Amino acid sequence: MGLMKCPDCKSEVSDRLDACPKCGCPFTEEIKKEALQAEEQKVNDEEIDEITQEQNTKIINQQNEIEETDNNPSVNINWKKVKIGVIIVVIAAIVIGGIVFALNFKKMQINKANKLIEQTQYSEALKVLEKYKDDDDVKKLYDDTAYMASDEGQFLTAFAKGLTQRWELDYPDETDAATHVKNYSNSVNAELNEIGKFRDVTFSDNTFNQKVHDYIDALDKQLKSLDYYATDTARSQADWASAYKQRSLIIKYFLNNYPVKIDDKYADIKNEFIVDANSVEAENKLKDEINNMINAGPFELVEDSYGYKTYKRNITNTTEYTFEYFGLNVQCLDDSKNIIDQEYTGQIKSFAPGQTATLEFTTDKSPSSFNVEAEYSIKGE
């Protein structure tokens, strides 16, 4: 338990109290923190004054001893040696005092810098640490602070602030489309108000730069989707969800690769985004694998009679999933890539990993090329 001064009545009270017992002033965590820091600073100042006072007292005592000896003629003293000794003692006292003062001053400066860092005032903290940037015990703190004061660091600070402000919003019950649009607009703008200023900033790291602008783009898409929520709800919700997937991937990227400083009380929300991002990554991986499957080889013309052409393609399941059914929608294209026919290949049932099957379709057109899209259902999902 520590003591602190009440900011109103200046009484010394326990820092475990929630309010001053004398004047009733409420003690928030911030008030307690500032009061304890003030007490710590006072102690540091008193220690320095005490050291200085001890040094002055020693010097005065030594001078008094010399004067007493000088008044006693029976004592045979080598005054030259005495004076040299006194000078050495005085110099040593001054040097030691200077070292102690410097160490205490450095400690106070580091504490000051840490307080500025807690308040995300990185540029100001950097100025305080500049003098000690090459010291082994300060170098890492200085380098970390310098990064957070850079363009990237400033974005990460704004990014974290925007997310937490969005997560802190209270949403009134939705009674109509207008309320829904208002609630969701407020959530997007909570972030854009913080990071929108980076819309035209180009960051030196290309990957970082792309992620920043992709994230702002995802927020813009979510905001845009609300324009047609009342008239085309299904499309609005689909576009919102698509942008959410994009956001979740980028949030995970920043959380895993950069010092995004978010309070632990939001841990559950952060973990939710990471879980969602993992699902999106698995979904995207499956899409890529299926696209590779269905485009691994050309359609082969196996029959051409009575004005009808039959094409087939062998498909190998290279994924880790078993498909309840798997088929292809085929667009038949002419030389100008215009769609001249659309057909379906039929379905493969219980299509297991590693299996190869043949899909085919028939058309009365003479296509030059094809566009294909898989239609499937994963077993057990």
CB 335 within 8 A of CB 381: no
DSSP annotation of 173 reads P
Spatial distance between the Cα atoms of 367 and 352, rounded to a whole number of angstroms: 31
For the ranges 17-31, 130-144, 259-273, the one whose mean pLDDT is highest = 259-273
More confident residue, 314 or 170: 314
The region of weakest confidence among 97-106, 227-236, 249-258 is 97-106
pLDDT of residue 47: 56
CA–CA distances in Å: residue 87 to residues 44, 90, 92, 93, 304: 29, 5, 8, 10, 115
At residue 150, what are phi and psi to the nearest 5 degrees? -75, 175
pLDDT of residue 256: 95
Q: Which CATH class is domain 297-378?
A: mainly beta
More confident residue, 8 or 253: 253
Spatial distance between the Cα atoms of 163 and 218, rounded to a whole number of angstroms: 14
Spatial distance between the Cα atoms of 187 and 110, rounded to a whole number of angstroms: 38
pLDDT of residue 84: 67
Residue with tokens 């009365």: 364
pLDDT of residue 204: 94
pLDDT at 272 over 60: yes
Q: Where are the domains of the chain?
A: 3-47, 91-128, 151-286, 297-378
235-252: buried (b, 16+ CB within 10 Å) or exposed (e) per residue? ebeebbeebbbbbbbbbb
CA–CA distances in Å: residue 54 to residues 14, 58, 59, 162, 371: 31, 6, 9, 53, 90
Both structure tokens of 37: 């820091």
Spatial distance between the Cα atoms of 70 and 72, rounded to a whole number of angstroms: 6
For the ranges 16-30, 57-71, 232-246, the one whose mean pLDDT is highest = 232-246
Band of residue 133 on the pLDDT scale cut at 50, 70, 90: confident
pLDDT of residue 250: 97
CA–CA distances in Å: residue 28 to residues 6, 15, 16, 69, 199: 11, 10, 11, 62, 37
Element (H, E) at 325: strand 323-333
Pure H helices in the chain: 29-70, 79-118, 122-129, 139-149, 151-167, 177-195, 206-225, 233-257, 267-294
Q: What is the mean pLDDT of residues 149-162?
A: 94
Burial class (CB in 10 A: 0-12, 13-18, 19+), 95: exposed
pLDDT of residue 35: 65
pLDDT at 291 over 80: yes
CA–CA distances in Å: residue 147 to residues 126, 143, 205, 208, 250: 10, 6, 13, 14, 20
Helix (H, G, I), strand (E, B) or coil at 269: helix
Q: Which residues pair with 308 in a beta bridge?
A: 305
